[in-house]
Amino acid sequence: MFESAFCKVTYDADKNAVLCQWKRFCKGDEYRDPLRYGLELIQQYHPTLWVTDTTHGFESEADDTRWLVEEFLPQTVGSSIENIIFIMRDESPLRDEIEGQAKALREYFDVKIAESLEGKG
């Protein structure tokens, strides 16, 4: 498990999933280290589901978004991950950003946006 003041990342064997729960705004390595740990979990457990909980999320910095597309995404596309779920409140200020990411990710994965993980994945 990875846990910082900004994010918690775990592997859930019952769901065969990496769970990434954002807690508050961060950038740089504070943003990237949890995702790097998630990649390690993918290599170790070969999950088919990645869940990102944005309930307490935030807009990403431009440099981190670029890193996500150029570094993180290519490693995820070539992995065991088949499905991605974004957990987001209905009234989230991140709706446009998350829907944009979901649209782009649908080229590679089955992507859903939900208000909770219960009954999903």
pLDDT interval class at 11 (50, 70, 90): very high
pLDDT digit string (tens) for 33-87? 999 999 999 999 999 999 999 998 777 888 998 898 899 999 999 999 999 999 9
The pLDDT of residue 51 is 97
**pLDDT higher than 60, residue 120:** no
For the chain, counts of helices (H) and of strands (E): 4, 6
Structure tokens at 59: 């807009």
pTM equals 0.91
